[in-house]
A and B are shown apart, each in its own frame.
Chain A
Amino acid sequence: MTATTAGVPAAAGAPASQDAPRAVATTTWKAVIGLGVVLVLYALLLLLSPHDGSARFLLSTSTDLFVLSTFVVPAMATAWVCGGVGLAVLLLAAVRTRAGRPVPVWAIAVFAAALLVGFLAWAAAGSPRDLSVVGLLSGSVALCVPIVYGALGGVIGERSGVVNIAIEGQLLAGAFTAAIVGSITDSPWAGLVAAVLASALVALVLGMFTITYKVNQVIVGVVLNVLVIGLTSFFYSEVLVPNAETLNTTTRFERLPVPFLERIPIVGPVLFNQTIVVYLMFVAVAVVWFALFRTRWGLRVRAVGEHPKAADTVGIDVVRTRYRAVLIGGAMAGMGGAFYTVVSINQFGREMTAGAGFIALAAVIFGKWDPLRAALAGLLFGFATNLQNVLSVVGSPVPSQFMLMLPYVVTLLAVAGLVGRSRAPAAAGDAYSKE
């Protein structure tokens, strides 16, 4: 037993495996197996439920510079061709793994894209309606906003060593406050600012209990979620419902098309015809990445999250750095919370975040505590959610429950097969105290 386990460092233990030999080339067959499972499922779907007819992809909107014609393809042929591409990638991955080399990321991206196109062709086959690619993509960008903001907040907090399970609570507090302040002032900007402040307040409580009182971070996070759900639901039924017109009817942010850029086909409507909150999200992802990996502040945050004692020794104030990171993370999550009540719809509803904070938490881990990857993971969740919406318009043959399930199954396979052992910041979860 010891002989086998000795070769596999840190089996199933805490993610902190920094003393394991890291130079060892660790090519595993996990990726190949994961891709294989997906491909087999895909093939089974096509074999068991073939769809005749053609799929119609609508690529343009009426305001584009030039109009791309509707793309009509024979459904089953396309689906099988895409499956063939997937098989090619799988073989490539197998060959590379056999040679002891890692599977390149682009191969996995090609695999995912091919199977997605094939699946869409299969699902849209024979439908009289066009499948709007623009609608699919722009909806995904909109739906991923709270998840991405929440994930950014989580990344900053965890990089500094404070596990943030309370993202859900921060989103909800932000949404609630934005609804009230936005309704009273009639200004979405005021709502946005209030959401940021409210969410930072939740973060302050998180920081106070985890940093100052050194309570277990997971406990505080879980409990804060319950607390915020309780408080917002209580005030929702006691205060907001009786005064819905004055306190729970916000003005939403308008779409803010970027001149000219929005008229580029596909890219324009997806990226450049969104609300200001979405543009701020693009900026925030870049800024957080830059701040964490290219500035002195980021170096300190990461040092505090990896080895607080060492950071303290060289003169970094661990407590202050962590407080600051947690508060900034909370402010980020607040922007995501505001999305619900001043962008998406114009009123607050009980528990309206519906677990998005936990999805954001999953995105943090999925993205390996990296802002860019976490944002991409959030985008994936947004895409999968929107895919279901779009396909139900087209009239998909798949039961809607399975479409809704799909993002989570894909995440499971991805986490198990591709991401594998994710390593959290070493000190995440530990309170720090000087001797």
Chain B
Amino acid sequence: MSGETPRPDGREPEPEAVPEPAGGQVPDADPGSPLAEALETVDAQAEPGLAEELQQEAAREQTPVVADTGARWRDAFRRATSGGWAVALGAIVLAVIAGSILIIVTDERVQAAAPYFFARPADTLAAVGRAVGGAYSALFQGAVYNFGADSFAVGIRPLTQTLTNATPLIAAGLGVALAFRAGLFNIGGQGQMLMAATAAGWIGFGVTGLPFPWHMLLCVVAGVAAGALWAGIAGLLKARTGAHEVIVTIMLNYVAFYLLSYFLATPGLMQAPGSANPKTPPMAESSVLPPLLGDSYNLHWGFVLSLAAVVYVWWLLNRSSTGFSFRAVGENPKAARVAGIDVSRATVYVMLIAGGLVGLAGAQQVLGTVTTGFGADIDAGIGFDAITVALLGGSSPWGVLGAGILFGGFKAGGSAMQAAEGIPIEIVLVVQSLIVLFIAAPPLVRAIFRLPQPDRVPRTRRRRAAAAPTTAPTKGGQA
């Protein structure tokens, strides 16, 4: 199997083996610090557009060097995304191979046939093929299209399930990614989702008499606000007292979990009347996100909200001055402060917005996916999955959208695989994490597949660097 794999990637280098124009402009591999200095002087003269371009150029021209200026996020994320399609494909192939190995070594038929491998190798190979083929076929049919279905309407259901799973992953992934861009590590997705679910759910079943769209909208807004407030605590503590956001968000996860547990276990608060289980009553009809494609599919309008959130975050980061200040703070807080950006305020704002996005995921869970009442496990690990989604998506909104759908598909396919082939769904975690890991390390993937290393022929940076001179004058001209 591994013998075939280099071929699809082997095609890639040829069209890209073009001389690198940027190499001529900046011969030195490490011009990061002079550029950064130039950036700071430019910034002081209130020239943000030009400064941004300088900053981006500084990032582009840096090859494997991480600047000493605390630019680790930017560099690593760029690295994670700039690997190009060859590396991405190679990473997926490697991860799938690793998953296959796991399936093979634990498959009973393979284990039965392996002892007489040298006598009749065909038996073992057939068992291997059946195990791996069955697993990935089940994965695909559970995630995209079920070929065994009678009609298209039934066959496409797995794809809608994928999108349903992707809905909160995208929203929460955006929240984590936005914080990343501002140099903050929002590990508190779980707590933000739980508080959002608490607020949205409480209004969802507790408030009666409101008509349909208003009740639902109120719930969504309450969820977003609760998530924003919960993350805002972390942002405020970070900005005011310097408390490390990692530690604060972890602690807030636990606080939120136990707070919700208390609400759920206390009759009269959120526990369903007449029940001893820590679970809420079902959501009111008027508060539920309506199905997007009719009642026969699980996909709900939350997906549209997630898409809107993608567009919003794209606009925020790339078209708004607030987003620019976030990125500036993330890339170099000192330079940002010199440029007159209020770093404390940016920290609080970015956490508020990030928490709101994660809160949207929590609201989608209780109002769309699990409307029959929820427990303290309503976050379903999405808060942590969102970190992986954000990393795979390179912290860009569109990347998060793609990564969220991919992971949603893995989730849907993994359940189908568990049901059909008896393979534990955790294998999906292994494959997912390996994909992110390999994509983050292009040199490793290139070495395994013997692709050219970028030290000699910079493959993926070529296109971006070539595009830079064309965009730089226009932006500089605007400013």
Contact = CB atoms under 8 A, between A and B. Distances in A.
Given A219-B80, A226-B432, A234-B430, A411 B247 contact: yes
Contact of B262 (A218, A231, A402): A402
Interface string B73-109: 1011101100000000000000000000010001000
Contact of B243 (A216, A226, A415, A429): A415
Nearest to B436: A223
B430 A412 contact: no
A13 B394 CA distance: 22
Interface stretch (B114-122, B141-149, B439-447): B439-447
A413 to B, nearest CB: 10
Interface stretch (A130-138, A270-278, A354-362): A354-362
A230 B433 contact: yes
B437 A227 contact: yes
A12 interface: yes
Contact of A223 (B244, B250, B255, B437): B437
Nearest to B260: A401
B72 A429 contact: yes
Given A15-B244, A230-B428, A223 B433 contact: yes
A235 B440 contact: no
**Residues of A contacting B: mostly:** helix
B427 A216 contact: no
A1 B344 CA distance: 11
B337 A234 contact: no
Contacts of B424: 233-234, 237-238
Interface string B23-66: 00000011000000000000000000000000000000000111
A202 to B, nearest CB: 12
A422 interface: yes
B187 interface: yes
Contacts of A405: 254-255, 258-259
B441 A215 contact: yes
Interface string B255-284: 100110110011000000000000000000
Contacts of A219: 76, 80, 391, 436, 440
Given A230-B427, A399-B266, A419-B243, A12 B238 contact: yes
A312 interface: no
A172 interface: no
Most chain A Cβ neighbours within 10 Å, of B75, B242, B340, B437: B242
B70 interface: yes
Most chain A Cβ neighbours within 10 Å, of B102, B241, B436: B241
Contacts of A366: 247
B387 interface: yes
B126 to A, nearest CB: 21
A1 B29 CA distance: 38
Contact of A229 (B344, B426, B436): B426
B388 interface: yes
A435 B250 CA distance: 38
Contacts of B244: 15, 365, 415, 422
A163 to B, nearest CB: 9
Interface residues of A, number: 64
Contact of A226 (B65, B266, B342, B433): B433
A5 B337 contact: yes
Contacts of B183: 14
B434 interface: yes
A421 interface: yes
B273 to A, nearest CB: 19
Interface in A360-407: 361-362, 365-366, 399, 401-402, 404-405
Contact of A238 (B106, B334, B387, B437): B106
Given A219-B440, A412-B255, A416-B237, A365 B247 contact: yes
A433 interface: yes
B389 to A, nearest CB: 11
B224 to A, nearest CB: 23
B199 interface: no
Contacts of B329: 13
Most chain B Cβ neighbours within 10 Å, of A222, A230, A430: A230
A143 interface: no
A42 interface: no
A223 B247 contact: no
Contacts of A231: 102, 426, 430
A234 B212 CA distance: 44
Interface in B231-255: 237-244, 246-248, 250-252, 254-255
A45 interface: no
A33 to B, nearest CB: 10
Contacts of B248: 412, 415-416
B433 A227 contact: yes
B167 interface: no
B367 interface: no
Contacts of A223: 388, 391, 433, 436-437, 440
B326 interface: no
Contacts of B102: 231, 234
Contacts of B239: 11-12
Contacts of A421: 241-243
B429 interface: yes
A420 interface: yes
B83 to A, nearest CB: 11
A223 B429 CA distance: 10
Contact of A234 (B262, B427, B432): B427
A299 interface: no
Nearest to B183: A14
A96 interface: no
B347 interface: yes
Would you list the 8 A-B pairs with minimal beta carbon distance, nearest first? Answer: A216-B76, A230-B429, A421-B242, A13-B333, A401-B262, A230-B430, A233-B426, A227-B433
Given A216-B80, A415-B243, 15 more contacts: A5-B343, A13-B333, A215-B79, A218-B76, A219-B391, A227-B437, A230-B433, A233-B424, A234-B426, A358-B250, A362-B251, A401-B258, A405-B255, A430-B68, A433-B65
5 contacts: A215-B440, A224-B437, A399-B266, A415-B248, A422-B242
